[in-house]
Structure 1
């Protein structure tokens, strides 16, 4: 999974994929914000017990921070 998440960051730069499809970092950050908000709304809408809801939300937020770090490292090299 870590390799996949790393490739997600790389394919949006000139380092991989088509050189004609380069997404600026500001748009990648906006996408991450959208995904974080969508996940949060989805988790809150599941009607989970409060402790499970909190644990689930915290786990997904950690995953998104890892994804964000993997995206940004490829832009730092570009």
Structure 2
């Protein structure tokens, strides 16, 4: 389901269950988000809107590790 007026600082759901924090809005169908990979590693990665759901743009490893302030946001969660 497409969420309306998304902006940096909000949380979304990626796939069925991954919490993603919006770092930047690239377009209505592309976001740069952060999430906790396996609940351990804070990762920044691009997601795209596909059939009403947010999914990772790449099916393979493509994110980058986050540190300090950005990592702390993800560790706190929603």
TM-score (norm 2): 0.23
Larger radius of gyration: 1
Greater strand content: 2
Greater helix content: 1
The higher-RCO structure (CA 8 Å, 6+ apart) is 1
TM-score (norm 1): 0.23
